Structure 1
Amino acid sequence: MKKIKNIILMLFVSLIFVSCATAPLTGRRQIKFVSDESVVQSSVAQYNQMIAQLRANNLLANNTAQGKRVAQIGRRVTGAVEKYLRENGMADKLQYLNWEFNLINTKDINAFALPGGKIAFYSGILPVLETDGAIAFVMGHEIGHVIGGHHAETASSQNLAGFLMLGKKAIDGIVGGAVVSDELAQQGLSLGLLKFSRTQEYEADKYGMIFMAMAGYNPEEAIKAEERMMKLGGSQNAEILSTHPSSENRLQELRRFLPEAMKYYKK
């Protein structure tokens, strides 16, 4: 029985090993069961459905002064992204990017970018960010998730969590009893995946600073933007139980990366 259990464990480990990829910016190893193409197809379909609903409810503000502002900044940032990809051997990623910018007229303080180059800002975040540079950083950060393959990575991680739970149950059945409770196994997986997400956020911040700098925005604006965000939400939540880094830790990382980002900045 022990031999069979070890064989099953080795199969799980082997599957994880062959499904590894490398994060473009940091060289970090990523688990990827899901292809970029499938993620783009799914994301674009969901995005189009969402935009259609927003348009039907008259919640798009693309033709307003602020909507045009977001799009103008977006064109500068995405131009920098395309240049970065070409100069760093990632021109193949351009085939998946068809840029689109939307401003959603709600008070939500949020923004996102989806695989396929679909970018949306909520009106509520603009007064918080204040400057074009801060908007460029947030946009670069969200695009960083796309370029870094974080969507496919997260989808793969979620699939892996379910796969490991299934594997645990199979092993339990073979050895004749549960070795670890489902609750403990799930808790361990959840904590591991949360840490994974914080790593992605730090990577996206670095991408954001590089992209904004290449677009002609001072990377110091990224630090000012995070300081303004800190005033809104505070930084009291324990980082270990959050999918995002605490604001203080994030600010520290931004400051640490600033000298590198400044190398890309041309006034």
Structure 2
Amino acid sequence: MDETTITISTGDGQTLQVYRWAPDGDPRAVLQVQHGLGEHAGRYRRFAEALTGAGYLVYAPDGRGSGRSAAQGYGVWGPDGWPGWVDDVAVLARHLREEHPGLPLGLFGHSMGSFATQQFLLDHDDLVDAVVLSGTTEVGGLVPLLAGDEPADLSAFNAGFEHRTGFEWLSRDPEEVDAYVADPGCGWQASPFTGIETLLPAADPERLARIRDDLPVLLVSGDADPLAGGGAAIELVAQRYRDAGLGDITVRLYPEGRHEMLNETNRDEVTADVVAFWERTLTR
């Protein structure tokens, strides 16, 4: 796997650092990976090894206020706030379409990246050929939790789990949890999400009905993920897409899995399921 970096400019003048992980030989398709809150794209290098090994070209941005893109500090979202998160997904997708014409484009969004993806699809479903939502949830109930004036407090997600570090909700693998805690680019307290209410239409049946009906979507989640509601929140998202007319919606719920299924004890199984989805939807 060949690793390089490109940069893209956001609509409000920020510069995002984007990993580019290339396979040997000509790529079969392009994959865009959007990470979650309080982390960075470098954590997806192992995932990219599997994807490039299967022949895919992968781009993963350090999102605004995150990783190498956090020029003003972690959690500083910039003038556009949450709508900027969503627009950044579209900016990169358009860049990839222009850079790699003719290649299918798949979009993988984890956690906050998956919420941004849900909102992105309302207006930009034409930019992507298949979507994976990882560690996602039903956004109608989520927005009120993120809409306050105080920084987002995720500590409540660890209720019901052991409290060795406070991040046990992420994975059953203690080495993965320890790596997260030791990483200075992870676990920081996020600033309030200005404009997060613009996410609410992603739960509106009328808006969802405008998404093209031939877009394949895979939802992957652990049923012990506190965002999953035991799996009910994931099934609700999937059913909303089906009710909106989308005909290729797949749910994979992993027993006892927590929030970061790519870093779980059964991560090889999860990665293989995601690769199989890309194989089916992007390389026919």
Answer 1 or 2: which has greater strand percent: 2
Answer 1 or 2: which has greater helix percent: 1
- Work out which of the two has the higher radius of gyration on C-alpha atoms and give 1 or 2: 1
- Asked if Structure 1 and Structure 2 have the same fold, meaning a TM-score greater than 0.5 normalized by the shorter chain, the answer is no
TM-score bracket, normalised by the shorter chain, equals 0.3 to 0.5
What TM-score results when the alignment is normalised by the length of structure 2? 0.31
